Amino acid sequence: MRQNRELLRGGLQKAGISDDTLNKLKIFDEFAVHSGEFLVASLDLTHRMMVYNTVALFERAEYIKKNYLENELLDDEIKVQWQECYNEICDIIGKGYDRTLNGTQAMARMIGGGDDGKKKKRKPKFGALRKAAADG
């Protein structure tokens, strides 16, 4: 595994990636010995960041709603601009949910062996006939 990582970094270096970036990537070697463990840990961290960012965006949307959209003193033209910002934030929140859900499903497939709860379809192919069918 260590050799694979060094080979990867060597290839990235030949491709023009800076030594500073490669040294940053080397730090990840200590996070998890097994690539599967690293993948699960990174997905977990990513999910936590998505949840945090979604809640932070929700707070921002609520601030806009309270201070601009519900403000009777503001001009309607300004409210339209703030409504666009509010709508965009709400759209981003929805996309965050979709991405988190997709990541969760991907992690569940990896942990469960990737069968998705579906039966694998067999491809049609020619094969040996069973003896009973051949004697027919």
Residue 124 pLDDT: 62
Residue 132 pLDDT: 52
Residue 5 pLDDT: 79
Whole-model pTM above 0.75?
no
**Residues in the chain, pLDDT under 50:** none
Q: What residue type is 126 in one-letter code?
A: F
Residue 128 pLDDT: 59
Question: Which sign does the torsion angle of CA 103, 105, 110, 116 carry?
Answer: negative
Residue 133 pLDDT: 53
Taking the alpha carbons at both ends of the chain, their separation in whole angstroms is: 55
pLDDT digits 0-9 by tens, 28-55: 777 766 777 777 778 888 888 888 999 9
Q: What are phi and psi of 31, to 5 degrees?
A: -70, -45
What's the Rg (C-alpha) of the chain? 26
Report how far residue 22's alpha carbon sits from residue 32's, in angstroms, rounded to the nearest whole number: 17
